[in-house]
Amino acid sequence: MRILLVEDDVDLAAAVCSYLRAKAFVVDVVGRLDQARAALLTAQYSAVLLDLHLEDGDGLSLMPAVRALRDQPAVIVLTARDQVSDRIRGLDAGADDYLTKPYDPEELLARLRAVQRRSGGGDSTVVQLGSLQIDLAHDLVRREGVPVVLTQKEWALLRVMAMRPERIHTRDALQDALYGFHDEADSNTLEVFVSRLRRKLGREHIQTLRGLGYRLAFFAGST
């Protein structure tokens, strides 16, 4: 899952990035609204973490650019403003959630999972594919009841597909979920990770649709 963090507090941004990257999220960080608008046009994000008080304006002025996107990311406002009126203004502007600073990073993680479940059209945190169980709330995968150990990149890729298991995920969208602006990736890296996931989860659980992309397969025998 790729996230855009719009935060001009350098130390806070570094701490949030470190925590989320350890949880297998890809995070791009910008400190200005103009940089955020450019980033939204460059990559596809699942969520935007948006500070309200930025050096070049009010963070909520970014909302029209977010809502103009075809695939709109969830927006969680992160701010030191704790007045009810501020929360109402943020939600009325189109934000999906609101978190007041200082906040516990685990609560941020829970909020991210919640807005992603809502955007995916479901409330369940567990995806069941035959004997394969993907627990999105606890970052756990079990195959026939046995825990499966995944690398951060493998889990990042699987999470994107499991959040919307009915969707065909394009190669570009999955690449966006794996790499940020400053990461380097070979042209065949995605296929390498898909191959590794198939080896660990069972080949039948990831379906290739030639010329379109990949999706999770609910029925054994899908190719």
Interatomic CA distance for residues 79 and 187, integer angstroms: 39
Q: Indicate whether 222 belongs to any domain.
A: no
Q: Let me know whether 10 and 115 are in one domain.
A: yes
Helices (H), the chain: 10-22, 33-42, 63-67, 84-92, 105-119, 152-163, 171-178, 189-201
Q: Indicate whether 221 belongs to any domain.
A: no
Which amino acid does the sequence have at 221? G
Interatomic CA distance for residues 124 and 70, integer angstroms: 25
Q: Indicate whether 97 belongs to any domain.
A: yes
Q: Let me know whether 84 and 166 are in one domain.
A: no
pLDDT at position 181 is: 67
Question: For each of the chain's 223 residues, which pLDDT tens digit applies?
Answer: 789 999 999 999 999 999 998 888 889 999 999 999 999 998 889 899 999 889 889 999 999 999 999 888 999 998 887 677 777 888 888 888 888 888 899 999 888 887 766 665 555 678 888 889 998 877 889 999 999 999 888 888 898 888 888 788 888 888 877 777 666 666 678 888 999 999 999 988 999 988 889 988 865 444 4
SS3 content of the chain, % helix, strand, coil (to 5): 40, 25, 35
CB 209 within 8 A of CB 215: yes
pLDDT at position 220 is: 46
Q: Let me know whether 20 and 113 are in one domain.
A: yes
Q: Indicate whether 108 belongs to any domain.
A: yes
Q: Let me know whether 36 and 88 are in one domain.
A: yes
Q: Let me know whether 106 and 195 are in one domain.
A: no
| Number of domains the chain is built from | 2
Q: Let me know whether 144 and 82 are in one domain.
A: no
Q: Which of 75, 92, 119 is the last residue of a domain?
A: 119
pLDDT at position 223 is: 43
Largest interatomic CA distance in the chain: 54
Q: Which of 69, 87, 119 is the last residue of a domain?
A: 119
Which CATH number covers residue 167? 1.10.10.10
Q: Let me know whether 109 and 176 are in one domain.
A: no
Q: Let me know whether 107 and 141 are in one domain.
A: no
Q: How many helices (H) and strands (E) does the chain have?
A: 8, 13
Q: Indicate whether 70 belongs to any domain.
A: yes
Residue 115, sorted as left (phi over 0), alpha (psi -120 to 50) or beta, turns out to be alpha
Q: Let me know whether 139 and 193 are in one domain.
A: yes
Backbone CA torsion sign across 39, 184, 13, 151: positive
Q: Let me know whether 12 and 63 are in one domain.
A: yes
Interatomic CA distance for residues 120 and 173, integer angstroms: 15
Q: Let me know whether 113 and 7 are in one domain.
A: yes
Interatomic CA distance for residues 189 and 68, integer angstroms: 31
Q: Indicate whether 223 belongs to any domain.
A: no
CA distances, 22 to each of 25, 26, 89, 156 (Å):
7, 9, 32, 11
Q: Indicate whether 95 belongs to any domain.
A: yes
End-to-end Cα separation, the chain, in angstroms: 24
Interatomic CA distance for residues 55 and 8, integer angstroms: 7
Q: Let me know whether 172 and 131 are in one domain.
A: yes
State the residue range of the domain holding 143. Answer: 126-216
